[in-house]
Structure 1
Amino acid sequence: MSNKQKDSLFIKAAFSLPTERPPIWFMRQAGRFMKEYWEIKNKYSFLEMCKTPEIAADVTMLPVNLLGVDAAILFSDILVTAEAMGGDLSFTQGVGPRFANPVRLKQDVERLTTDVSQKLQYVPEAIKVIQQRLDGSIPLIGFAGAPFTVMSYLVEGGSSKDFKLTKLMIHNQPELAHQLLNKIADVTITYLNMQIEAGVNAVQLFDSWALALSWDDYREFAHQYNVRILAGLNRKDIPVISFCKGSSVFASMMAEAKPDVISVDWNADLLDIKKMLPKGIAVQGNLDPHILYADKKVIRERIVKLHERMKGENGFIFNLGHGIMPDIPFDHVKYAVDVIKNELTNA
């Protein structure tokens, strides 16, 4: 990593070093709340956007150019690994991701391949294009979906409200669940190391649906695989962020995997979480994304309040507790960035 990147606000905060203000980026920052995103999306399918390096770069750069965030995140999807393993993936407007061949039986798990590098070559190609465009201005974050979350989409055949089929598998057929999770974990290690080799400056592991699990099930069917993934990464100079919806519940266990940063949802007091974590683990979050619907006066008040709470703490990255919703007004998101960049100081 260049010295310029090591000196960036985002990388310094991720490694719990002092910064003059907290860095800011958003989960889903290159997305449907931007009219410029729709200008691209109306010409191509979602998977075409992910798989065409120039288009993925165009979308990745939108929040960099339009919002002025302190880090870019690769435009892709957590389910590209599942597709590369053999999932028949499609995205439908208003429905979301679907797998036409859900994984429910032993033979379904056995047909999934872990030899995915060639199928995912479009990702390192996109990273190289993005890094040329960023030209060292800010860091680029790569990412992958964590095994339990990816498994839930494969087993359910798409999004789910109750994860009934996934939970039936882990409870009635735990050996089969572990066979599936092991395969996904192997692929995830390969995939994140591909991204690191291609030039990302940080990576985030998204365990979006971990909150569906009880404490014991989280340890057995999510956490142990996340531990293995983080241990398998080529992490020199590359901060690793661990995110799950439910991180305010699982943060103490998540810390056992030794991430550099834990991204926290909006259900907890961020400073309490930070003080509970081992020294040297930074926190990211935990603004309620719904605040961005509110009046600008309220947005500013909440940002200032969170900053005051975290003031004097090294290792704090401003972000939301989850992703930006598609109908949040763009100018509210831009306003939030401007408040953080122009009004906050850690001095």
Structure 2
Amino acid sequence: MDVRFASERWKSRVNNKAFNDTFLKACRGEKSDHVPVWYMRQAGRSQPEYRALKEKYGLFEITHQPELCAYVTRLPVEQYGVDAAILYKDIMTPLPGIGVQVEIKNGVGPVIDNPITSLADVEKLGELEPEEDIPYVLKTIKLLTEEQLNVPLIGFTGAPFTLASYMIEGGPSKNYNKTKAFMYSQPKAWGQLMKRLAKMAIVYVKAQIRAGAKAIQVFDSWVGALNTDDYRTYIKPTMDMLFKELKKEGVPLIMFGVGASHLARDWHDLSLDVVGLDWRMSIQEARNQGLVKTLQGNLDPAILLAPWEEIEARTKSILDQGMMTDRFIFNLGHGVFPEVNPDTLKKLTSFIHEYSSSKTL
């Protein structure tokens, strides 16, 4: 695969297109001619071009090659016609920069051989220096935003709780027992860990914005494992500080987690612009709870494996609820499955654009 040739060919096509800012308009609550759409995990997994690359390269190997990483990032824009790209990388990407060694194991996910167990372990963590620790990420962003995209690029970071869960558990977990036990039994160490990870996320995000990212999504993927009281006690103060600092950068900020509908109201209180919903809470339910900010979501990704008639009916329902205001972005309730046919995503994107355009006329 000649990625450089593909990049030049795509660049010439992009230069002839106007910049599509419908996603940014929706983040700000401004009217546009259609509902914008992008999909979590739209880059990779289900795409045959990506699977071919994965036969030669690991995830970290791809992200360390800016031309290759940019190619993977922009593929969904070219293939599906989505209104935003999200940078291809992993939430683990910045951790080696602070002294946490991570391995991505096939069929398992991120694995950390020296999990955190004490305050002493927390105090050993270093500070992220983006230009030294992740220059390849910044170069990829610049390639995309300066030469290759006519849609906004979304940068992202893992939230402190989710990053901490991997660092304490040593990898993915079903119940987060070790993480919760650490949080309850070592509050001083937990507080320090939250502060350090929030500081890392702030530095990381600001570097992405300087490089050209037009919006940021914060993934607190696993914070739904906590109840509301524990979230407010152990997590929300850190998130409040994080978003207040990032708000100064002037780009839209999005929050997303899985199984966390009970926290949506608390997210809405933070200094962010967009609340991402998984499929467990409908758009209308969120509005009924008083969420007036832009909502993003929330088709169950499993529906993408159903017949088209079912996909269309579910999508119409979500769109009808979302289009009651201008503050709506269509997305999935979590990421694209590897089994999803890319043609389904292309057809879905076209349907969303056409259906929402007909409703705004």
Interval of TM-score (by shorter of Structure 1 and Structure 2): over 0.9
Number of residue pairs matched?
341
Match in the other structure for 1:104 = 117
Supply the distance in 2 between the matched residues of 1:298 and 1:134 (Cα, whole angstroms).
Answer: 35
Match in the other structure for 1:325 = 337
List runs of 5+ in structure 1 lacking aligned partners. none
Match in the other structure for 1:126 = 140
Give the conservation status (yes or no) of the 8 Å contact 2:45–2:51. yes
Aligned equivalent of 2:108, options 95, 103, 110: 95
Match in the other structure for 1:292 = 304
Range 172-181 or range 242-251, more displaced: 242-251
Whether 1:148 and 2:161 are equivalent positions in the alignment is yes
Supply the distance in 2 between the matched residues of 1:42 and 1:309 (Cα, whole angstroms).
Answer: 42
Letter in 1 for 2:44: G
Q: Which contiguous aligned blocks of 4+ residues in structure 1 show a shift greater than 4 angstroms?
A: 234-237
Supply the distance in 2 between the matched residues of 1:214 and 1:56 (Cα, whole angstroms).
Answer: 37
Identity within the alignment, %: 37
Supply the distance in 2 between the matched residues of 1:310 and 1:211 (Cα, whole angstroms).
Answer: 23
Match in the other structure for 2:354 = 342
SS of match in other structure, 2:34? coil
Match in the other structure for 1:73 = 86
Supply the distance in 2 between the matched residues of 1:115 and 1:92 (Cα, whole angstroms).
Answer: 24
Supply the distance in 2 between the matched residues of 1:164 and 1:276 (Cα, whole angstroms).
Answer: 30
- Once the two structures are superposed, residues 110-131 of structure 1 have per-residue CA deviations (whole angstroms, 9 ceiling, x without a partner) of 1110233221222111100111
Range 330-339 or range 21-30, more displaced: 330-339
Aligned equivalent of 1:306, options 318, 322, 331: 318
Supply the distance in 1 between the matched residues of 2:298 and 2:234 (Cα, whole angstroms).
Answer: 25
Letter in 2 for 1:21: H
Letter in 2 for 1:215: T
Give the conservation status (yes or no) of the 8 Å contact 2:27–2:252. yes
Letter in 2 for 1:228: M
Letter in 2 for 1:124: L
SS of match in other structure, 2:35? coil
Letter in 2 for 1:207: D
| TM-score normalised by length of structure 1 | 0.94
| TM-score normalised by length of structure 2 | 0.91
Supply the distance in 2 between the matched residues of 1:15 and 1:277 (Cα, whole angstroms).
Answer: 18
Structure 1 residue 41: deviation in Å? Answer: 1.5
Supply the distance in 1 between the matched residues of 2:301 and 2:134 (Cα, whole angstroms).
Answer: 31
Supply the distance in 2 between the matched residues of 1:115 and 1:193 (Cα, whole angstroms).
Answer: 12
SS of match in other structure, 2:133? coil
